[in-house]
Chain A
């Protein structure tokens, strides 16, 4: 035996969604994760949000792992997180970090909660008796809470704690606590842990309207709230419990609501020359939701500077908000709010569309508050001994958003990179996990080895006999209302029940021994356990069962105390132990008919196919090859590099894509794990998950190559769009931004003599009939080119005609720089697009100036068109070859726009870069890294374990109508032409049960969800009712 290596351990500091995602990804890759958060709970900002666009509902559960879902046993992410490999440490601060790469010693300070969650029975009587009331920070001070409280209203377990500052130590809570969970003298505990790598995911401080001087002219009334507070006002668990939105000052329904954008951001005077990136979409979503909640008579207006809808689907959401929901957008920076005597809020603004001043009253004003990153960055830099860049942010490696400069093993993700939306937070979390995994593989540490307990033979052919074990919950007499005698007697009477046991506390060691003892002696062949928090113990109890020789799928756990709690809040129902017994009976019935479930293992080909040899594709290939995975890299052109790597020499933020691509090309060709297929396209792909076979066609020849692989990364990229507008093609002086960029770099375009340069943004973009989306990069390209022209010829006048300048994040500083350099920005809108005509061979641009309200004519020496980014046409063929779908715009459609941005619905296929949507270089590299990590964790398993709950076919009943094949949303069912039968790809099946309903002959069935089981459950639910007034 080789010596035992230490288990790779990673500290994730910050348990917002990016931290959680990084933690889950690392845990799934087999590493141990410490997930610490300074606040009292996990979930970060998202814990406060009930709704996220584009669906305007919550979807956090979709970030949970898709494979092995029955063992994840968790369904709602907002409640909490449960994972065997993740140790969650809320309310924990990192006080010092010693050591370096691969060998960190971290001092953690666990703050005293004063309530021991391991003992607390969560009945909440302590909250009722607490005499202290303070403002609840979770609801932004809009509601009150006690000194002993539950920090997040929807958390499970509730995790009560005492606010030390507010507590008067009156001791009332201690008196009523039946479990001695409260210790008012508990002290903070320091702990030292050793970790190999650290991921910082703390998010950044948000602008607080009460703290900053520049908010004074707005915060004149409690009815001026921040955007996060507004989120709590709409929430079902928030201020108004999901009722209509009211004014905090007097509780009147708010009918007229205004949003003011860029509060705290884009403000040079306050040294905050950046855009907070997410507030525009946040405000749009809130305005739409306010309309949905309050009805059509609610009026919503957003006052903005530029509506920055740069991400995938953002512009379409904006169009929908305006056209379908009637959200008003007014481009005006409102200078302040005034309080009317009747309590309403008055604002004066100028509407550039009508050229008029208005004075209007509003019930509620929401301030779209942004980020204040510097403080957080400074704190981390000091703690980690990392360096700050010129902007005051933690410096990262040149082309990486994730890797901290000069600190291997230290990574950042999420809003520390600048405020990110959910989708980017997800990608960054995965990418950070990927970078950490790459780092850990170089260290020679081990992954956690699962305790392999072989699955015993199921005695499912015997008559079903169920043993029921209910937990008394030891020292926690939380369920004191349960009469165990009655419960046992009731259950004993159920036909299928063989024996009923009451166990002291099943989660403790002696409880485990007692359970083992029962299982050893029992004559039953199925076991039902009633305990609290079934989510937390399910996996553990299943392992116990296996040890005792029980097939783990024939052991079920139900939430006894959940039923108890429900019973207690309904005093009218009287004897609810019997009611609880009836609920348990349904579980017994379901278990009785449950077949034993088996996990299948499918072989996997540990090779990856990367489609597209641009920077994203090369990055993904290099990352995978570096971890020892053989890669086939397919590029349709004669050389690698893609659009950026072959056409763009420099970007405005000092990056050199062509040099980077050349460097990467060398690495790719040198790497023995990478096979490059140039001039090749994927013609067809066959095979099941884990074992694909792709046919590659060599361009202009009959030659075909076959490659075998287990995973696919799609990195097909994009290219500059084409146009026929504004006389493009009619004269040399009308050109695209891309051509100008190339010409300026090579010197082919001489700007020394030019007088006027006019640039038109959004040519064919962000409009119906063209590209409905924003191409994200054109504004920065225009600014880069304009600055270059100014540099070469300061006398030249450069005009940029724009609709919204998309200089999000720290790109804002280049926008500021451009204006300082004398570049003139002029706004136009779709209704009055610029006109162009050729006068004596020179383009003349005519447009309405919204400030002067007059028509302006500009003769241009150069007319430069920002034509946006088009997806590759080959996406259509590839989508067909791989069985994936495209968005309306021709980009590849990811599994979920927010929560699974780099996966497809089909397992084993991932996407990166501009194939997803237009994005800047660093984001491309980040996504490629994330996709590579996803593919790596998938491929490194050697074999795919299918879920045990999958759909199956009863062949004798099947009439081969193939309706199930058509209805399956995952393409898991297919008709086998050779054997003339329906087959199920167990690894692709997600057990949604659509096929079972569709099948007319009951030939399709989901194991563990059979008709027989559900019919028995329906019976049990309707039998023996307490309200037997009408039946029997």
Chain B
């Protein structure tokens, strides 16, 4: 068996973080393939149920990437995301999913290198933590 490869579902906002991921791609900064990017229009669009769904379906971590405060394309969606993340984190703890598995990061469009750093850091952290406690338990039939 090879080394544990965590699966990370990443919800990236279209305007900042998704663009940063694109920039990382074009500037040949490789980030781990563990990060599975899902483009959303705004980090504030990420419904808590998407996060739960990802964990239930076997994600070892969830990363939400949005614009820096004050930079939101939709005025303040990222701040709404921040408040929501705080709540969802509390909820996840009840199910044994610690906050180190659920990250919210501000990454601007020009910060391709920061995206790589966050992706590397989160992958390393999750490798250290091991599989999510929900693995093989909460599998939903698809």
Q: Do A and B come from one complex?
A: yes
Partner of B71, one of A55, A235, A1011: A55
Which partner residue on chain B sits nearest A586 by CB separation? B38
Q: Which residue of B lies closest to A242 (CB)?
A: B113
Quick check: is B91 within 8 A (CB to CB) of the other chain? no
Instruction: List the A residue with the shortest CB-CB distance to B28.
Output: A569
Bound-complex Cα distance A25 to B73 (A): 20
User: A154 to B26, Cβ gap below 8 A?
Assistant: yes
Knowing A76-B109, A573-B33, A997-B47, the reply to whether A1022 touches B71 (Cβ < 8 A) is: no
Known: A242-B114, A997-B84. A569 touches B30 (CB 8 A): yes
Contacts of B5 in A (CB 8 A): 1027, 1029
Q: Given the interface contacts A569-B30, A994-B74, does A236 sit within 8 Å of B110 by beta carbon?
A: yes
Q: Is B65 an interface residue when CB atoms closer than 8 A count as contact?
A: no
* Interface residue range, chain B: 35 or more
User: Does the CB pair B42–A154 fall under 8 Å?
Assistant: no
| Chain A window 150-163, contacts with chain B (Cβ cutoff 8 Å), 1 for yes, 0 for no | 00011010100000
Check if B38 sits within 8 Å of A154, measured CB to CB. no
B74 x A969 contact (CB < 8 A): yes
Kindly provide the distance from the CB of A1007 to the nearest chain B CB, expressed in whole angstroms: 12
On chain B, the residues within 8 Å of A153 by CB distance are 27
Contact A993 B109 (CB under 8 A): no
Contact across chains for B44 and A236 when beta carbons are under 8 A apart: no
Once the chains bind, are B110 and A61 in contact (CB under 8 Å)?
no
**Does A875 have its Cβ within 8 Å of any Cβ on chain B?**
no
- The answer to whether A1015 touches B53 (Cβ under 8 A) is yes
A237 x B142 contact (CB < 8 A)? no
Interface residues of B in 1-54 (CB under 8 A from A): 1-2, 4-5, 7, 9, 14-15, 18-19, 22-23, 25-28, 30, 33-34, 36, 38, 40-42, 44-50, 53-54
Nearest Cβ distance between residue B76 and chain A, in whole angstroms? 6
Residues of B within 8 A of A50 (CB): 108, 110-111
Cα distance A905–B112 in the bound complex, in angstroms: 29
Question: Contacting B76 at CB < 8 Å: which of A79, A969, A993?
Answer: A969
Q: Are B9 and A1022 in contact (CB under 8 A)?
A: yes
Q: Report B-chain residues with C-beta under 8 Å of the C-beta of A235.
A: 110
User: Which residues, 333 to 372 on A, are CB-close (under 8 Å) to B?
Assistant: none
Shortest beta-carbon distance from B30 to chain A in Å: 5
User: By the criterion CB–CB under 8 Å, are A1014 and B38 in contact?
Assistant: yes
Given contacts A1021-B9, A1022-B59, contact A994 B77 (CB under 8 A): yes
Nearest-CB residue, chain B, relative to A579: B33
A1006 CA to B2 CA in the complex, in Å? 42
Chain A residues with Cβ below 8 Å from B33 are 570, 573, 579, 1026
Give the docked Cα–Cα distance between A990 and B38 (Å): 20
B58 to chain A, nearest CB (A): 5
**CB nearest to A158 among chain B residues:** B26
Find chain B residues with CB under 8 A from A154 CB: 23, 26-27, 110, 112
A905 and B74 alpha carbons, distance in the complex (Å): 10
Of A579, A1006, A1031, chain B has the most CB atoms within 10 Å of the CB of A1031
Q: Flag if B26 contacts A997 (CB, 8 Å).
A: no
Query: Residues of B contacting A1025 with CB < 8 Å?
Result: 7
Do A58 and B44 touch across chains, with their CB atoms under 8 A apart?
no
Contact A236 B113 (CB under 8 A): yes
A573 to B142, CA, bound (A): 27
Q: Is the CB of A1030 within 8 A of B4?
A: yes
B57 is an interface residue with CB less than 8 A from chain A: yes
Q: Is there an interface contact between B108 and A57, defined as CB atoms closer than 8 Å? A: yes
- Contact of A1031 with B109 in the complex, beta carbons under 8 Å: no
Q: Nearest chain B CB to A905's CB is how many angstroms away? A: 7
Decide yes or no whether B68 CB sits under 8 A from chain A. yes
Pair A992/B44 contact, Cβ less than 8 Å: yes
> Given that A997-B46, A1017-B38 are contacting pairs, would A1029 and B110 also be in contact in the complex, using a CB cutoff of 8 Å?
no
Question: In whole angstroms, how far apart are the Cα atoms of A61 and B16 in the complex?
Answer: 9
Contact A1011 B110, beta carbon cutoff 8 Å: no
Is A981 interfacial (CB-CB < 8 Å)? Answer: no
Residues of A489-534 at the interface with B, using a CB-CB cut-off of 8 Å, are none
Q: By the criterion CB–CB under 8 Å, are A997 and B38 in contact?
A: no
B68 and A57 within 8 A (CB): yes
Which residues of chain B come closer than 8 Å to A58, judged between CB atoms?
108-110
CB-defined contacts of A1021 to chain B, threshold 8 Å: 9, 36, 38
The distance in angstroms between the C-alpha atoms of A791 and B13, with both chains bound, is 62
In the complex, chain A residues whose CB is within 8 Å of the CB of B47:
996-997, 1011, 1014
Count of A residues near B, CB < 8 Å? 58
Which residue among B18, B41, B54, B59 has the maximum number of chain A CB atoms within 10 Å of its CB?
Answer: B41
A806 and B110 CA atoms in complex are apart in Å by 33
In-complex Cβ contact of A156 among B26, B44, B70 (8 A): B26
Whether A1023 pairs with B142 at a CB distance below 8 angstroms is: yes
Contact A76 B22 (CB under 8 A): yes
A25 to chain B, nearest CB (A): 20
Q: How many Å from the CB of A401 to the closest CB on chain B?
A: 30
Total A-B residue contacts, Cβ distance less than 8 Å:
161
A1022 x B41 contact (CB < 8 A):
no
User: In whole Å, how far is B38's beta carbon from the nearest beta carbon of chain A?
Assistant: 6
* Closest beta carbon of chain B to A256's beta carbon, Å: 25
B49 and A996 contacting across the interface, CB-CB below 8 Å? no
User: Are A990 and B57 in touch, CB under 8 angstroms?
Assistant: no
Q: Counting CB contacts under 8 A, is B98 at the interface?
A: no
Which chain B residue has the least Cβ–Cβ distance from A157? B26
Q: How far is the CA of A242 from the CA of B28 in the complex (A)?
A: 15
Q: Which residue of A lies closest to B33 (CB)?
A: A573
Q: Restricting to A153-176, which residues have a CB under 8 Å from any CB of B?
A: 153-154, 156, 158
**Mask of A944-977 contacts with B, CB within 8 angstroms, 1/0:** 0000000000000000000000010100000000
The distance in angstroms between the C-alpha atoms of A1029 and B131, with both chains bound, is 10
B125 within 8 A of A: no
List of A residues within 8 angstroms of B114 by Cβ: 236, 242
A825 contacts across to B, CB distance below 8 A = none
Contact indicator A969/B27 (Cβ below 8 Å): no
Contact at B30–A75, with CB atoms within 8 Å?
no
* Given A61-B109, A992-B74, residue A1018 in contact with residue B44 (CB < 8 A): no
Set of chain A residues within 8 Å of B109, measured between Cβ atoms: 58, 61, 76, 78
* CA–CA, A1030 and B70, complex, Å: 41
Q: Are A565 and B26 in contact (CB under 8 A)?
A: yes
A218 within 8 A of B: no
A835 to B14, CA, bound (A): 56
**A154 CA to B58 CA, complexed, in Å:** 35
Cα distance, A124 to B25, chains bound together (Å): 13
Which of A78, A1015, A1023, A1031 meets B110, CB within 8 Å? Answer: A78
- Tell me which residues across on chain B come within 8 A of A615, comparing CB atoms: none
Asked if B67 lies at the interface with its beta carbon under 8 angstroms from chain A, I say: yes
A101 to chain B, nearest CB (A): 40
For B136, list chain A residues within 8 Å (CB): 1030-1031
B110-142 residues at the A interface, CB under 8 angstroms: 110-114, 131, 135-136, 142
The answer to whether the Cβ of A562 comes within 8 Å of any Cβ in the partner chain is yes
Contact B54 A993 (CB under 8 A): no
Q: In chain A, what residue has the closest Cβ to B69?
A: A55
Residue numbers in A under 8 Å from B84 (CB-CB):
997
Q: Mark A1000-1032, 1 if CB is under 8 A from B, else 0.
A: 000000100101001101110111011101110
Contact present for B75 and A969 (CB under 8 Å): yes
Nearest 5 CB-CB pairings of A with B: A993-B45, A1027-B5, A992-B74, A55-B70, A50-B110
Q: List 28 A-B contacts (CB under 8 A).
A: A50-B111, A75-B14, A76-B22, A78-B110, A124-B28, A154-B110, A237-B23, A237-B27, A237-B112, A565-B25, A566-B25, A569-B28, A570-B33, A573-B33, A992-B42, A993-B45, A993-B77, A994-B44, A996-B45, A996-B47, A1009-B40, A1009-B41, A1017-B38, A1018-B54, A1019-B142, A1022-B59, A1025-B7, A1031-B58
Residues of A within 8 A of B (CB): 50-51, 54-55, 57-59, 61-62, 75-76, 78-79, 124, 153-154, 156, 158, 235-237, 241-242, 562, 565-566, 569-570, 573, 579, 586, 905, 967, 969, 990-994, 996-997, 1006, 1009, 1011, 1014-1015, 1017-1019, 1021-1023, 1025-1027, 1029-1031
Given A62-B73, A78-B109, A1014-B38, 4 further pairs, Cβ under 8 A: A57-B68, A993-B42, A997-B46, A1009-B45
